Amino acid sequence: MLQGIFPPLATPFDAEGALDLRAFESNLAAYASHDLGGYLVLGSNGESPYLDDDERVKLVRAARKGAGRKSLLVGTGQESTRATIAFTRKAADLGADAALVLTPNYYKSQMTPEALRRHFEAVADASPIPLLVYSVPAFTGLTFQPGLAAALAGHPRIVGMKESSGDLSLLGRIIAAVPSHFEVACGSAPVLYPALCIGANAGIVAVSCCAPAVAVALYRAFTEGDHARARRLQDVVTPLGLAITVTYGVAGLKAAIDLAGLRGGHVRAPLLPLPEAARHEIQALLERAQQVAEASGGVRSATARA
C-alpha cells in the first residue's frame, strides 16, 4: 500500500474562509498526470483540525473520485477512541483504502505507550479498512517509540505508519523494530532520500503538493539505484521542504502550490497569511528545484506547473 510518493493534500479555502471544493478537485486533476503512489486527505497539511464534519465528508468523497484507482489514505484520528472509530468507519464507507490515525495528544502526559497501544488496537479491531499510525511530534508533543511500533505491528489490521519527526535515528530504530511487512512512510521531505536508504517504503511529503514531479523524480532515482541523482534532488528538496513546513507552515505550502500553477487558496483562521517577502523566497526555491530536476533528466519544464 505504501509505495512511492503521496501528496498530503492541502485544503483550499476562499478569502472568506469557506471550503473551495472546486479548487481541491482541480488540484487532484492536475496531480493525476504524475506517477504518484496515491493521496492523503485530512492530514496536517490539509488543516484537518480546522474542518467540520460536513467538510471532511465532502473532501473524502471528492478525493475518492479524483484519486481514481490510486490508493487513498484518510486522516481519521480524533482525541477519543470512540470518535476515531466512528470517523474511521465513515471514511471506509466513503471509499478510503486505509485510515491514517494520529496519536491522541490533548492529555499528552497520560498518553503512555500502554494507553496508545490500547487506543490503536481498539480502532483497528473496529475498522473495516487497514490502519496506518501517524506520528508527528512537532504537533502532538509525543515521540513514537520503536517498541510501541513493534507491538502494534502484530495486529493484522495495523499495516504501517507515517513517521514525521524528521529524526533519522528514530526512524531507523522503528524500521529495525518492525517486521518487513509493516510499511513505514517518511513524512519529512528534508530527510526523504536518507529515509529511503534506511528502509522507508514511501514519502508522504508536503513538497509533492507543489513540486510533484521533483518528489517523484527523487523517489524514482532511488528505486533505479541512481543515488547521485537522488542526492542532487535531495539537495534542492531539503530547503524547499523546510520553507513550506518548518519555517512558514501551511501558509507557505499553500503559497507554493499557488506559485506552481495549482490552487492553494487561503489558510483558515487563526492561521495567518504568508508575508509577501516569503513568497519570493519560496518561488526561488521552487524554480531551483525544478531546474535541478530538469538538468538531471526526465522532468519536463511544465510538469510541476501542470
Could you give the residue numbers annotated as active site? 162
Grid cell listed for 272: 495567518
Under DSSP, is residue 34 helix (H, G, I), strand (E, B) or coil?
A: coil
Q: Give the whole-angstrom CA distance, residue 268 versus residue 250.
A: 10
Q: What is the DSSP letter of 161?
A: E
Burial label for 124, CB within 10 Å (0-12, 13-18, 19+), is buried
According to DSSP, the residues that pair with 186 across neighbouring strands are 163, 203
The residues, ordered by sequence, that sit 6+ positions from 296 with a Cβ below 8 Å of its Cβ are: 217, 221, 229, 232, 233
Residue 63 contacts residue 91 (beta carbons within 8 Å): no
Torsion of CA 99, 245, 193, 130, to 10 degrees: 0
3-state secondary structure 187-254: CCHHHHHHHHHCCCCEECCCHHHHCHHHHHHHHHHHHCCCHHHHHHHHHHHHHHHHHHHHHCHHHHHH
According to DSSP, the residues that pair with 73 across neighbouring strands are 40, 98
Q: Give the whole-angstrom CA distance, residue 53 versus residue 296.
A: 44
Nearest to 11 by CA among 59, 57, 54: 59
Q: Give the whole-angstrom CA distance, residue 290 versus residue 303.
A: 9
